[in-house]
Structure 1
């Protein structure tokens, strides 16, 4: 072993070991970059069997097990030679360069000029931290900024390191790959695509940006689509940078049945935020394909815009908006990113502090469903029968909804003081009514009322935790909420209010009692915790006189057994004296398993029971809380930490223990099988328009049949009607560089008159290259 430090040799070798790949593809090209400067005080370690220096020729040779380390870079070779006369540096015999960030370059032979601007490498292979590989028989640069790789191949197969005797899953081969340092681009000349060792496609020559370049103008990866209504098409997007903070993408999709679909998206980044605008449109050649919908027109299109800007680190504002020519356009042309039911428009201002939060929004929703007429029980009853479902007029405009809440920074009476404020104002053009059955009579229920509704609410609450003897925990609490309502109700069929402005006040006091018992064992711990809570309030006022917009959902289960109210929003507030009783059990094992269970019941003790008095929506109907003794609620959560997780919750009739609502979910993973199951049951609720019990099960499973092949499927089945709602099956291949899947599904979840939606879905993804999807409906 020899230790050697000569300034010229150290600098030259440092250049070699310091100039390796940082980008996924052109790693080896960095051998030819500008030479590095030796850092002041930096030391180089050179180890070799033999080190010689020829005084006459100025040639330095390190021969046998050469190892050079500098600044974290490591070079291995059988021989390294530096010739001062020709200013050439060469390394041979299994040259291997390892960078500090993990990139590895292997070459049979390396020869470079003194300034590293010219030279060549043979038998090259570069593996990068991005799990990509570039190999070439020869790489050469003769001055300038262009490096040429001959007989090159590129793949994103990371596992190739562990199985060098097997071909990569896929590889792009090219007679030449030209890397332009100034343009930051790679050009593949005479390329072909190999899959599992066989050539499956000969490609035209193409150029791609250097993967180290985040933004570069050019054509992006095309995507194929197919639909019975649209025909076959290929989207070809072109990306154009407009400077360091702006760019635009133009997509052209010729469709064999409907014509040229065009989309244009502009994006800009500013000093304090960003925004984008996207427009799409098509002049349909065959509008009759959409005869049964609002899409039967020549020109269809949309404009979508969004933005987000910071006023300071705590405050930001922004917007989101979508405008369409017709309701079905986004779903017909697969442009919707949401639930295909609504397209929101919102303008917002938010602030986030250490102990408080502010949020203000304006909302409007574009309905993405066509109006329809149905004979189902959910149709509006008289005097609204015959009008059908005019959906857009029933959708409210919110102007605005403002929330502010927080916790006071400091103690008050040795406890915690919190506060909430809410202002909601909305307008609706048409009353949203539906029919329901009550005592055999069909009556009207109202989700929303024509006119303008404004409410302002302010709430303050206090609580304190007190530890009593033998581990008992007492939590006294108190609060007050006040509401002011301003109403412009233009529908006399709903309510007859004499005043346009109403007020409501609700104070409360309460006490929560807990007594947890801890049982420790050699395998884990168990906690048994009885809980009792009592809350005293006056009666709720103006029930049925006021609209109910944000408290229409009352789902009584173990998660809201304890608390001041079980309403989901501000429009209703619980009144009367109520007690909540329950027991919570928690088991935790030292191996990571956990079991938690809760069971309890709520009792109305005095005053008027808010859940026994219907509002215009009758949101409390069949809630399980209308009697003095509520239904029984229970919940169970199990996680074995070994591949099995179970969640179960239910509500049971307080007299017969009949199931009123239940949901059981399980997810399991064992060996090659991953599966899940969800069972749901909802007893009939005639007061809410649900005249029959609902019961269904959803199943999903994935089986890894082979090392990289899995078969998957799903099923949603109506147990009451004995009918399949949705089903699907597919097969997929996955490895570290390729993902391919084919699936078939049938969906019967639409309206009874809608046809079955049958779809075939195909997807292929090449890591670092791109992916494409094709889906088609089998029925028009």
Structure 2
């Protein structure tokens, strides 16, 4: 053991002398003169247990000691007193007195330590004790009157600690808890008392023999043996936190997940679940991470009284694989036994089953995608009449035209859709395939007056093959050129207070062939006028439709940035068609318009679009848009607002949509949403979410929740209610309760309670 230069931090002041010796204050015993000190260093170097480490290991493995007073007794023992501190292999020992005795006849070297003792064994283990007898390397020994703190969270108090093998710590008649313990109230919120607790620092486990779980001093459960992860563990095989859940259809229930760590990259979770009204479910989740991707499989099988004699369940699979740094393969598969299973068991509310496999490639100048999709709806539609098997592919490449300059995108898009029906009347069994080649080009200039002038162009060629639809020819071809001129005049003004105003009038004149071809429409059924589509040459969401005719897109944008940290953006605009018959010049299934009144694009003049966004430094955010007709009506409105700050978060939304026969919307719909989270005191958070159906005049869904977090426990309580029902979703009430004990496993806790709480 090599005495370190310098005194203990508490201070009796040994200071390092040049050449490695030590000088001491006047009250230090005279027997530690330089000659004796050299003898002390030789004695330590001659210690068998440590001399080999000093000679053969780097300085990081050398033991160092500092103390107020050092002496060697007649029998060769080293005695350190006053502010003793020893560092060895990442362990730090602080004590009042230490006696180092060299072993004889093969016996190991020993340390007798008098406390109070503080032993830090790495960053995760802290030991407090009154006295100890330990090996010279601080790995093994016996500690009396000890308290162990794991990961600065879980405390274990015991009468005696036996450390062996450098990894096993045995604690007799021990009490474990991560709760705050105060002098005036020594009973923790929860504790586990055991005849013995064994901590394995390598396996990172805690084993309790004859444990008793107590809450506020009252014993709630006992067991012969219990095995738990220590606070540093992120994943380990064992039982996870049970969940209590009650629903209106199934009654109260209990779910006890069991986690199986197959290896460092794979795990399996089995989740048996039982409800009082005769429901038995076994769920499972398998996860696998590998070098180039990940795989996820989730599912459950159920027997219940809701559908007697039937097996119910669902399965969902997801996979993502990196075929190359910029290319990925994805898989999304799902199936469920009946439309109501998901809503009955709270595993999702979507009533469309979708299976997809796709390959994506994303580069700086290229975007590629190939996707095969199969879906089935349970909303009451006839699946035989829907194109529920679709194959689509797209490849886009950005290029710089050699003569025109600017920037251009070349896009190749393909679509194939198949219906199960073979009825050709009104396209009930239509099968269609389309191939499209499209080129988009843009080049802009800035005039001396600051006006941005841009020339835009698009050329596309389409070809369809159609089967089982008597409204279309078997083969259809279309070539559609489009040209446009765009003017933007950004006007910037700096206000005296430092605010910046940007006013930007925008005008876009578009020419396209005024021809409406009879073409099938599979991917552009819903059109919308919004901030994104206002200045697009083709407002269709897909490739099957083509906006035709001459038109002018007009808009006025305004942005204000304030030095106080808030900003506002606003945009108003509309579309004016230079020729038309009072309908949207967008081709549809049989040369008819696909834009209804809700889209905002019907008529020779579109509705007015008004949109705004607001953000403040105080956490307020607002976004909204509305379509306004010439007579002042608003067929569509959407507003969303949120505010967060000072432990509170509030959000709200409002949506109102008029009837639209083009979208099969037979009645006016609307929804009001309100919700938020609020800190109630230091440890409580209240949660709420409400959806109100304005058309029905009744609530749609409602949810309330409470969350409690402190240093040793986490409680989540939830109450939710679905008021409406349909053929695939039933009205449902659910109550959930989950309690986690902080201190077992690497689960974060909340703020610590004070002793006055």
Work out whether the TM-score is over 0.5: yes
- SS state of the match for residue 584, structure 2? helix
Deviation of residue 721 (structure 1)?
4.7
| Cross-structure match for 2:208 | 188
Mapped contact 2:342–2:349 kept (Cα < 8 A): no
| Cross-structure match for 1:40 | 58
Q: How does 1:577-588 map to 2 (within 5 A)?
A: 577-588=550-561
| Cross-structure match for 2:410 | 419
Cα gap change, 1:247/1:59 in structure 2, threshold over 3 Å: closer, same or farther?
A: same
Cα gap change, 1:317/1:688 in structure 2, threshold over 3 Å: closer, same or farther?
A: closer
Do structure 1's residue 179 and structure 2's residue 154 form an aligned pair? no
Cα gap change, 1:280/1:648 in structure 2, threshold over 3 Å: closer, same or farther?
A: closer
| Cross-structure match for 2:615 | 639
How many Å separate the matches in 2 of 1:547 and 1:124?
Answer: 77
| Cross-structure match for 2:78 | 60
Mapped contact 2:318–2:331 kept (Cα < 8 A): yes
- SS state of the match for residue 149, structure 2? strand
- SS state of the match for residue 645, structure 1? strand
Q: How does 1:295-444 map to 2 (within 5 A)?
A: 297-334=309-346, 336=347, 338-368=348-378, 371=380, 389-390=381-382, 392-408=383-399, 413-430=404-421
Structure 2 unaligned spans of 5+? 1-12, 21-40, 748-757
Cα gap change, 1:82/1:756 in structure 2, threshold over 3 Å: closer, same or farther?
A: same
Which deviates more, 742-751 or 206-215?
Answer: 206-215
Which of 626, 632, 635 is 1:650 aligned to? 626
Which of 578, 581, 594 is 2:567 aligned to? 594
- SS state of the match for residue 174, structure 1? strand
- SS state of the match for residue 546, structure 2? coil
Do structure 1's residue 451 and structure 2's residue 451 form an aligned pair? no
Cα gap change, 1:90/1:585 in structure 2, threshold over 3 Å: closer, same or farther?
A: farther
Cα gap change, 1:66/1:471 in structure 2, threshold over 3 Å: closer, same or farther?
A: farther
Mapped contact 2:439–2:458 kept (Cα < 8 A): yes
Mapped contact 1:235–1:252 kept (Cα < 8 A): yes
| Cross-structure match for 1:476 | 455
- SS state of the match for residue 465, structure 1? strand
Mapped contact 2:546–2:587 kept (Cα < 8 A): no
Which deviates more, 275-284 or 304-313?
Answer: 275-284
Deviation of residue 216 (structure 1)?
4.7
How many Å separate the matches in 2 of 1:521 and 1:7?
Answer: 80
| Cross-structure match for 1:777 | none
How many Å separate the matches in 1 of 2:685 and 2:360?
Answer: 45
How many Å separate the matches in 2 of 1:223 and 1:607?
Answer: 63
Deviation of residue 635 (structure 1)?
1.4
Cα gap change, 1:695/1:223 in structure 2, threshold over 3 Å: closer, same or farther?
A: closer
How many Å separate the matches in 2 of 1:566 and 1:167?
Answer: 68
Cα gap change, 1:673/1:647 in structure 2, threshold over 3 Å: closer, same or farther?
A: same
Do structure 1's residue 682 and structure 2's residue 657 form an aligned pair? yes
Cα gap change, 1:266/1:430 in structure 2, threshold over 3 Å: closer, same or farther?
A: same
Deviation of residue 10 (structure 1)?
9.9
Which of 688, 696, 704 is 2:679 aligned to? 704
Q: How does 1:601-612 map to 2 (within 5 A)?
A: 601-606=574-579, 611-612=584-585
| Cross-structure match for 1:205 | 225
Which of 522, 532, 536 is 2:507 aligned to? 532
Mapped contact 2:149–2:155 kept (Cα < 8 A): yes
Cα gap change, 1:607/1:228 in structure 2, threshold over 3 Å: closer, same or farther?
A: closer
How many Å separate the matches in 2 of 1:362 and 1:68?
Answer: 67
Which deviates more, 338-347 or 200-209?
Answer: 200-209
Cα gap change, 1:573/1:145 in structure 2, threshold over 3 Å: closer, same or farther?
A: same
Which deviates more, 185-194 or 408-417?
Answer: 408-417
Mapped contact 1:136–1:153 kept (Cα < 8 A): yes
- SS state of the match for residue 361, structure 1? strand
| Cross-structure match for 1:462 | 441
How many Å separate the matches in 1 of 2:422 and 2:568?
Answer: 47
How many Å separate the matches in 2 of 1:605 and 1:188?
Answer: 83
| Cross-structure match for 1:114 | 136
How many Å separate the matches in 2 of 1:520 and 1:62?
Answer: 74
Cα gap change, 1:522/1:581 in structure 2, threshold over 3 Å: closer, same or farther?
A: same
**Per-residue displacement from partner, 1:96-115 (whole Å, max 9, x unpaired)?**
45688687554444542124
- SS state of the match for residue 464, structure 1? strand
Deviation of residue 571 (structure 1)?
1.8
How many Å separate the matches in 1 of 2:741 and 2:259?
Answer: 20
Deviation of residue 54 (structure 1)?
0.7
Mapped contact 1:11–1:38 kept (Cα < 8 A): no
**Per-residue displacement from partner, 1:350-409 (whole Å, max 9, x unpaired)?**
22323323221211124355x4xxxxxxxxxxxxxxxxx43x334433342212224338
Which of 89, 94, 101 is 2:111 aligned to? 89
**Per-residue displacement from partner, 1:115-148 (whole Å, max 9, x unpaired)?**
444213443232527x555554533124585321
| Cross-structure match for 2:8 | none
RMSD of aligned Cα (Å): 4.2
- SS state of the match for residue 140, structure 1? strand
Q: How does 1:555-594 map to 2 (within 5 A)?
A: 555-594=528-567
Which deviates more, 761-770 or 462-471?
Answer: 761-770
Which deviates more, 243-252 or 49-58?
Answer: 243-252
How many Å separate the matches in 2 of 1:94 and 1:454?
Answer: 83
**Per-residue displacement from partner, 1:59-115 (whole Å, max 9, x unpaired)?**
334433345678987654444443334612355544445688687554444542124
How many Å separate the matches in 2 of 1:235 and 1:717?
Answer: 31
Taking structure 2 as the reference length, the TM-score comes to 0.80
Deviation of residue 621 (structure 1)?
0.8
Mapped contact 1:108–1:124 kept (Cα < 8 A): no
The total of aligned residue pairs comes to: 700
Mapped contact 2:170–2:198 kept (Cα < 8 A): yes
Mapped contact 2:636–2:657 kept (Cα < 8 A): yes
Do structure 1's residue 739 and structure 2's residue 714 form an aligned pair? yes
Q: How does 1:278-293 map to 2 (within 5 A)?
A: 280-284=300-304, 286=305, 289-290=306-307
Deviation of residue 587 (structure 1)?
1.7
Do structure 1's residue 666 and structure 2's residue 641 form an aligned pair? yes
**Per-residue displacement from partner, 1:502-543 (whole Å, max 9, x unpaired)?**
33433333324232313254443222222222222223532x
